[in-house]
Structure 1
Amino acid sequence: MSTYFSKCSHSLLAVAVSVGWAATVQAELPTQQQEQAPGWFRMLVGEYEVTALYDGHTAIDTSLLKGIEQDEILRHLDALFIDAENGMQTAVNAFLIHTGENLVLVDAGSAACFGPSLGQVESNLRASGYTSDDVDTVLMTHLHPDHACGLTNENGEAVYPNAELRVSQADADFWLDEARAAELPEEERDFFVIAQEAVSPYQKAGRFSSFTPGDELLKGIVAQDTHGHTPGHSSFMLNSDEDAMLVWGDVVHSYGVQFADPSVAIEFDSDPEQAIRTRESVLESAVADKHWVAGAHMPFPGIGHVAKDETGYRWLPIEFGPVADNK
């Protein structure tokens, strides 16, 4: 009997010590951390190094999607576990391309134009191992603020002082036309003013030029016409060795809806019908050619493939892994 109680005493003591130790450890736990890791992701496209740079996120109200009923929007989003109660969370991404001869940035992010949840392109570029001085070319898919505000700092100076800024001729003709902007109501003028201020230091430094669809802007980087979202919206096809990637800008804003139904437009499209035709064509080509896609508003890192399904398309995001294994 005494042996039994002795064993029980030892067991209870062990439990007490264990509970006490656990409570001590629990009391010493640090507070939960709210920060994420730096937002960059790197892969190879042939011999070209592509680094996705996270600018941040914003929320888009579902009412901005056009040509579809709200209950249908919610059905698509619910199927992907996307909570849209406070708007659809939408990433903003830029892409850095090291060709071996040039360091090229596609789009510059939003800087301070849309609040504290955005504006991280330059800091993530530095975290990825480069500096803004290293960039020799900036290619713009279009001149909307969430892509162009990051071209300048709070003092109106060029963030990429050694870079040639290149914009499609059609977008330059539209957004940089001061006479056109002056004729608009004040509430419609902001996007024009932002675009003009963003490119101004590059123009003054003689580092601004335009391009047209089909131009080979640098070796292996060709501009493609994907207008509709803006008059000169462009995408860039990278070709290196046997590999290819289309950096497609704003072809898709809501992956939860527009892959399932490409006929859905968004309020910001300057020509919604053309934007729909462009999206359908680009998605079909991505399926047929099986090339990589990099999207400004796809969930970070915004890189993946497009597949066809029974009714529309599906987004197949890249998996995290060693750079060379992502070729």
Structure 2
Amino acid sequence: MTVKRREFIAGLSAGLSAGLMVPAASWATPGMSGQLTLGEMQVTTLSDGHLTLPRSMLFAGLDPDAVDQILQAGGIAAGPIHPPLNVTLLRHAGRVVLFDAGSGPGFQSTAGQLTAALDAAGVALEEVSHVVFTHCHPDHLWGVLDDFDDPLFPNAQYLMGEAEWDYWFDPNTASTISGDRASMAVGARRRLEVMEERLSRFDDGQEILPGVAAHASYGHTPGHMSFELRDGQQSVLIGGDAIGNHHVSFAQPDWAIGTDQDADLAAKTRLRLLDMLAHDQMQMIGYHLPKGGIGRVESAQSGYRFIPALGE
């Protein structure tokens, strides 16, 4: 596949007009969380389940009382954090595109539900034409292989940012990354080796598919990418883990988050994206945000707020 080069789509839109969001509750199909229509683009979020993470993994080094105050205000119960996993499905111009591939069966028992969600959405594995990766963490990449380490999507082409590929495909990464992440590096490289012959790489600003432009959002990983979907004046940003939670990272976006590999760069990226999304009133899809991950960003007295589309 040849990836076309062009300038990044300039002038982010003033957001999706009213009525384009179809609440999942109106059709209540298991595994399907929300739906958007952008011109000829049909966008659905699918649930891969959820993770269970100790608070220390996310908030080590932060003031526990300040964190608790934010979490309590957001209705987050005491104990571990349970971030949802929202995989985005795009149907457009005869293509069936997934943004990330979920966790697969080998990560956490509460995750790995993407195949059931695709079935509920009426999408056969053979129909998936492209899988686009935001980054190579297990809950985004590991679901690309089945139980026999064969490609789960037999007819798909794969697309990934050049910097992200370079980092995780480098055999030295497993020995230079922090020890608690070494297994992630080994697992990523093994999957990239399987996909290599069918994988195209791209840079910031490229239109990787018609109406889909790459937007560098480095920090969570060295080459993390977000994606703008656009049809005419309508657009939405698929943010991956660039904004990885709907509480602390909105209320205090400059605070370091433990799952970010470069916490300082990730915070700068988060602030830039939140400011852009709030200023342009552009909708977003967050991989770990609630209620299917679709919503918008509002400026608050301190920081920002995530407004889920399903809550409006």
Which residue in 1 is equivalent to 2:129?
136
Which residue in 1 is equivalent to 2:271?
280
Q: Does 1:160 align with 2:137?
A: no
Which residue in 2 is equivalent to 1:269?
260
Larger RCO, structures 1/2 (Cα 8 Å, 6+ apart): 2
How much does 1:183 deviate? 5.7
| 1:147-203 deviation per Cα after TM superposition (whole angstroms, max 9, x unaligned) | 001000111000111111111111111111113325668654211111112223222
Task: Report if the CA contact (8 A) 2:291-2:310 is conserved.
Answer: no
How much does 1:255 deviate? 1.0
Could you tell me which of 231, 235, 240 is aligned with 2:226?
Answer: 235
Q: The residue matched to 1:98 in structure 2 has which SS?
A: strand
Q: The residue matched to 2:75 in structure 1 has which SS?
A: coil
Output aligned runs, 1:53-72, within 5 Å: 53-63=46-56, 64-66=58-60, 68-72=62-66
RMSD, aligned CA: 1.8
Task: Report if the CA contact (8 A) 2:291-2:308 is conserved.
Answer: no
Distance 2:29 2:228 in 1: 29
Could you tell me which of 165, 172, 187 is aligned with 2:165?
Answer: 172
* Amino acid of the structure 1 residue aligned with 2:74: L
Task: Report if the CA contact (8 A) 1:66-1:264 is conserved.
Answer: no
% identical equivalent positions? 33
Task: Report if the CA contact (8 A) 1:96-1:103 is conserved.
Answer: yes
Gaps of 5+ in 1: 1-35, 322-327
Q: Does 1:197 align with 2:190?
A: yes
Gaps of 5+ in 2: 1-27
Q: The residue matched to 2:82 in structure 1 has which SS?
A: strand
Which residue in 1 is equivalent to 2:95?
102
Could you tell me which of 308, 313, 318 is aligned with 2:304?
Answer: 313
Which residue in 2 is equivalent to 1:31?
none
Of Structure 1 and Structure 2, the greater helix share is in 1
Distance 1:314 1:162 in 2: 40
How much does 1:257 deviate? 1.3
* Amino acid of the structure 2 residue aligned with 1:189: A
Distance 1:257 1:186, change over 3 A: closer
When normalised by structure 2's length, the TM-score is 0.86
Higher-Rg structure is 1
Distance 1:262 1:233 in 2: 17
| 1:48-81 deviation per Cα after TM superposition (whole angstroms, max 9, x unaligned) | 1001010111122222225530111110111122
Distance 1:104 1:310, change over 3 A: same
Aligned residues: 283
When normalised by structure 1's length, the TM-score is 0.82
Q: The residue matched to 1:246 in structure 2 has which SS?
A: strand
